[in-house]
Amino acid sequence: MRGERVIFEEGQPGRTNHQHAPDSASLKDLPPTLLRSTPPPLPEVSELQVVRHYTRLSQKNFSIDTHFYPLGSCTMKYNPRACHVLAMLPGFLNRHPLEPDQTGQGVLSSLFELQEMLAEITGMAAVSLSPMAGAQGEFAGVAMIGAYHRQRGDVERVEMLVPDAAHGTNPATASLCGFRVREIATQATGDLDLDSLREAVGPQTAGLMLTNPSTLGLFEREVETIIDIVHQAGGLLYYDGANLNAITGRARPGDMGFDAIHINVHKTFSTPHGGGGPGAGPVGVSKRLQPFLPVPMVGCQRDAAGKNHFAWVGARERPQTIGQLSAFMGNIGVLLRAYVYLRMVGGDGMRRVADHATLNANYLMARLTEAGFTAAFANRRASHEFILTLKPEMDRFGVSALDFAKRLLDYGFYAPTIYFPLLVPECLLIEPTETESKEELDRFIAAMVAIRSEAMENPALLKEAPHHVPVPGGGLGRLDETRAARKPDLIWKKRD
């Protein structure tokens, strides 16, 4: 089976979907120097060719809708179809962002309620919805920490502390906000190394970015102490909310003492990941950071008759804001999906989410260790995810985490996150989420066990995997990433 041609290869000069004779419209009145001399090199294909090509391409994806997708740190859970359908109602889709607020009371009221609900779930004083992904939420949070210190004249605080297990966006964000990044070590237990932390903090400390449960899949047991240490040194605490799915309804970052948090709605609140986005990264803060929240936010005023009026609130009303993060109001369509999800799940439901996400992870960890795999933190409770290290398998059979991952594709499972966090050698970070059934987990366990036997008996089977990814036109072998980076081929050109 050959792969799918690229759409440009399907084209024919002169083919067009355009249905009818061109209108009389012309560009005669525009200066010719401002116009194109040749048509843009786009494909020339029929509507059927477009539909067929992209329908076939779509089938070449594993996705939540088709496969178990235990990608650690990513919370690939079911994206309820109702959220999609309701966020795509024409009334929502067709409204221009600059229309007067009075034509947007439906969307504004939903967003206002979402702000309130997220504040309640996280225990923060206020939430702004405008960041367009987790990383932008981080940016907002860290920029607010900077603004806070600056406003107090505390200009020496140039260092941001980041645990060595942190997600790459944490240090990258700190840099983007002009901070120097200082890494804090992790203990063998998986908790943060308090000694390193104590050593690191000082008058130059702007804050600490913590993920809790951490990217190791562990709840940071010393979180209160950590917060005290940093606060006492005059720093603020940033909470990376990527793992919120582990604790909703069980614990709240605000109660722990964090000053800022971002939330990945495309994780905990089940908005789809879209093959790479869009997500949304609402940011919540404690009281002292409230004035700095990014704009716009949604405000509510009650009129004399007791009727609520919702309106966008911008830099004019919030002069201390760090500013706006996008031309308009962030990823509203995504936020509406999160709103619908939250309204369907409710408060007790949010606890059930954490409970069952955690149950699934601990069950998988128990069964897999029982089957001979090595958990990186066998004596700890897993949160909603956990780490296996394949170091033993590497040592004994010469197969790597990558080999395991690729072989899982042959079995019809998306692979867990590999080689992250960087601390644990040959690691698989496995996150089943609460929406997977026990049967599915059992099938995954069976596959892992089978692959482990293959590793013993025929390691080449893993090293050459995948062999027959079960998608149409599958049978693709392992792709050569080195070649891709060495001789970048980034756009299609006619070849012969």
Ligand X SMILES: Cc1ncc(COP(=O)(O)O)c(C=O)c1O
Stretch that binds its own copies, among 7-15, 27-35, 98-106, 154-162 (CB under 8 A): 7-15
Q: Of these, 45, 68, 73, 263, which contacts ligand X (CB under 6 A)?
A: 73
Count of residues engaged in binding its own copies, rule: CB under 8 A: 34
Asked if 120 and 167 count as a contact pair (C-beta separation under 8 A), the reply is: no
* Binding test (CB under 6 A) with ligand X, winner from 70, 146, 279, 296: 279
Can you name the residues that pair with 66 across neighbouring β-strands?
A: none
Which CB, 74 or 147, lies closer to ligand X? 74
Quick note: the x/- pattern for ligand X over 169-188, rule CB under 6 A, is x-------------------
Q: How far is the CB of 303 from its own copies (least distance, A)?
A: 31
Residue 472's binding partner out of ligand X, another protein, its own copies, none, with CB under 5 to 8 Å set by partner kind: its own copies
Does the footprint of its own copies cover residue 48 (CB under 8 A)? yes
CA distance 67 to 48: 28
What's the token pair of residue 211? 């993920």
From 39-47, 131-139, 150-158, 457-465, span contacting ligand X (CB under 6 A): 131-139
Cα separation, 456 vs 47, whole angstroms: 51
**Strand 427-430 to strand 260-262: parallel, antiparallel, or no bridges (unpaired)?**
unpaired
280-309 positions binding another protein, by CB under 8 A: 280, 294
Footprint (CB under 8 A) of its own copies, residues 337-396: 344
Among 6, 27, 41, 65, binds its own copies (CB under 8 A): 65
| Cα angle, residue 275 at apex, residues 270 and 279 outer, rounded to 5° | 45
Judged by CB under 6 A, which of 197, 242, 260, 423 binds ligand X? 242
Binding another protein (rule: CB under 8 A), the pick from 72, 127, 141, 146 is 146
Per rule CB under 8 A, is residue 287 in the interface with its own copies?
no
Name residues contacting another protein, limited to 65-84 (CB under 8 A): 65-67, 69, 71, 74, 76-82, 84
205 or 268: CB nearest ligand X: 268
Please tell me whether residue 421 binds ligand X under the rule CB under 6 A. Answer: no
Closer residue to another protein in complex, CB, 389/435: 435
Partners of 161 in the beta sheet?
A: 182, 208
Which of the stretches 2-10, 22-30, 130-138, 141-149 binds ligand X when contact is defined by CB under 6 A? 130-138
User: Do 341 and 80 contact (CB within 8 A), yes or no?
Assistant: yes
Our CA angle for 483, 414, 164, nearest 5°, is 75
Residue-wise DSSP of 270-328: ----TTT------EEE-GGGGGG--B-EEEEEE-TTS-EEEEEE-TTT-TT---BSSSS
Q: How crowded is residue 29: how many other Cβ atoms within 10 Å of its Cβ?
A: 5
Tell me which residue has tokens 């792969």.
3
CB of residue 54 vs its own copies: minimum separation in angstroms? 9
Q: Nearest distance from residue 411's CB to another protein, in Å?
A: 11
Amino acid at 270: S
445 is a contact residue toward its own copies (CB under 8 A): no
The answer to whether residues 201 and 223 touch, using CB atoms and an 8 Å cutoff, is no
Q: Which of 337, 382, 435, 448 binds its own copies (CB under 8 A)?
A: 435
User: Contact region for ligand X (CB under 6 A) — 45-53, 89-97, 133-141, 456-464?
Assistant: 133-141
CB 266 within 8 A of CB 334: yes
Q: Do 302 and 108 touch, CB atoms closer than 8 A?
A: no
Structure tokens, 9: 């290869």
Considering the complex, state which of residue 425 and residue 474 has its C-beta at the smaller distance from its own copies.
Answer: 474
Q: Is 94 in the site for its own copies (CB under 8 A)?
A: no
Cα(463)–Cα(208) distance, integer angstroms? 40
Tokens 């601990």 belong to residue: 362
Q: Shortest Cβ contact with ligand X: which residue?
A: 134
**Coil vs helix vs strand at 200:** helix
Question: In the block, which residue shows the tokens 């050698």?
Answer: 425
Taking the complex as a whole, how short is the minimal distance between the CB of residue 404 and another protein, in angstroms? 12
Please answer whether residues 364 and 436 qualify as being in contact, where contact means their C-beta atoms are separated by less than 8 angstroms. Answer: no
Task: Tell me 71's DSSP state.
Answer: B
Task: Give me the amino acid identity at 377.
Answer: F
286 forms part of the interface with ligand X (CB under 6 A)? no
**Cβ burial, residue 65 (10 Å; 0-12/13-18/19+):** exposed
Cα-Cα-Cα-Cα dihedral sign, residues 345, 350, 354, 355: negative
User: ∠196-199-202 over CA atoms, to 5°?
Assistant: 130
* Residues between 149 and 168 that touch its own copies (CB under 8 A): none
Q: Which of 308, 372, 460, 492 binds another protein (CB under 8 A)?
A: 492
Joined tokens for residue 253:
């970052």
**Cβ-based nearer residue to another protein, 277 or 291:** 277
Residue 379 interacts with another protein (CB under 8 A): yes or no = no
Chain contacts with ligand X (rule: CB under 6 A): 73-74, 133-135, 167, 169, 211, 215, 240, 242, 264, 279, 281
**Contact residues for its own copies (CB under 8 A)?**
1, 10, 12, 15, 19, 46-49, 51-52, 55-56, 59, 64-67, 78, 80-81, 344, 412, 435-439, 468, 470-474
